[in-house]
Chains A and B, each alone.
Chain A
């Protein structure tokens, strides 16, 4: 039997990778769309996860993650692309400075409950949470130390949840258009990664390819912004001459 502390640390570290992905999505959606619906969606995702683990127990390790990743990843990819191109257009039109707190939402957040935010947070939490459950249950079960594995996974969620909460303030001061572009880029990167992994694609650098995808999409967004700004600047020069 593996030592309990080793199981705890290993489960903590393994969970941390997935927890960072989960909390990145929740914080990003919360900052962009508001926290009320986002936290409701995240809480619903956690409830579904707890119920799934409670009912499924060891069977959760046998949930076919491939089809799940394909469906959720494709949805995130398509939705993320909407924010990605809207963010490009808006940042190209207005730049990054001078409109703090004045940026009207081009996709108005509906009065009442924001189902889009709740749905995004729900998907992020439930999918990443399911992966955490699979890691914890399968690793803890195979080591004969399910208790320490659950504690390690829970500790990682608490630690990285607190970090995400602390980052909330600085994130709220970032211009909304720019943040929409950043969130869109993240959603497209995560969506691409999950959808293709669900298809059976072998990513050359494994999970690190999420970072590389985000960099790739960021560079492309920067190029598009430069191209979008060029006609605007030419028009201004003609008008000013």
Chain B
């Protein structure tokens, strides 16, 4: 593997770990919440509440699935 490819892969892995981390569904869910908020704003709805609500909801789901996995 060339040095350039290694650097590109390393940067991509860093960015993925930095942005998404260990929970892809949560990252995708938050990205979706931001996109939907943008759409709502574009149609005249001041949806400031959507992303905070999504953040708490998705965090709760993450914690619950993690607890269930730990219980076996």
Interfacial residues, chain A to chain B (CB-CB below 8 A): 70, 74-75, 77-79, 81-82, 84-85, 88-89, 115-116, 119, 188, 192, 195-196, 199-204, 209, 213, 216-217, 220, 224, 227-228, 231
Q: Which residue of A lies closest to B66 (CB)?
A: A89
A interface: dominant SS: helix
Question: Are A213 and B52 in contact, with the CB atoms below 8 A?
Answer: yes
Chain A residues with CB under 8 A of B18: 75, 79, 116, 119
B interface: dominant SS: helix
Residues 22 to 72 of chain B near chain A (Cβ within 8 Å): 22-23, 26-27, 30-31, 34, 37-38, 41-42, 46-48, 51-52, 55-56, 58-60, 62-63, 66-67, 71
Q: A199 to B34, alpha carbons, bound, how many Å?
A: 8
Q: Which 10 A-B pairs have the closest CB atoms?
A: A82-B21, A220-B56, A199-B38, A201-B48, A200-B41, A78-B19, A85-B59, A199-B41, A192-B51, A202-B46
Interfacial residues, chain B to chain A (CB-CB below 8 A): 14, 18-23, 26-27, 30-31, 34, 37-38, 41-42, 46-48, 51-52, 55-56, 58-60, 62-63, 66-67, 71
Q: Per a CB cutoff under 8 Å, which of A70, A85, A192, A202 touches B52?
A: A192
CB distance from B15 to the nearest CB of A (A): 9
Chain A residues with CB under 8 A of B37: 196, 199, 201
**A196-B48 contact in complex given A79-B18, A231-B67, C-beta closer than 8 Å:** yes
Q: Which residue of B lies closest to A80 (CB)?
A: B55
Question: Are B67 and A78 in contact, with the CB atoms below 8 A?
Answer: no
Q: Per a CB cutoff under 8 Å, which of A81, A204, A220 touches B30?
A: A81
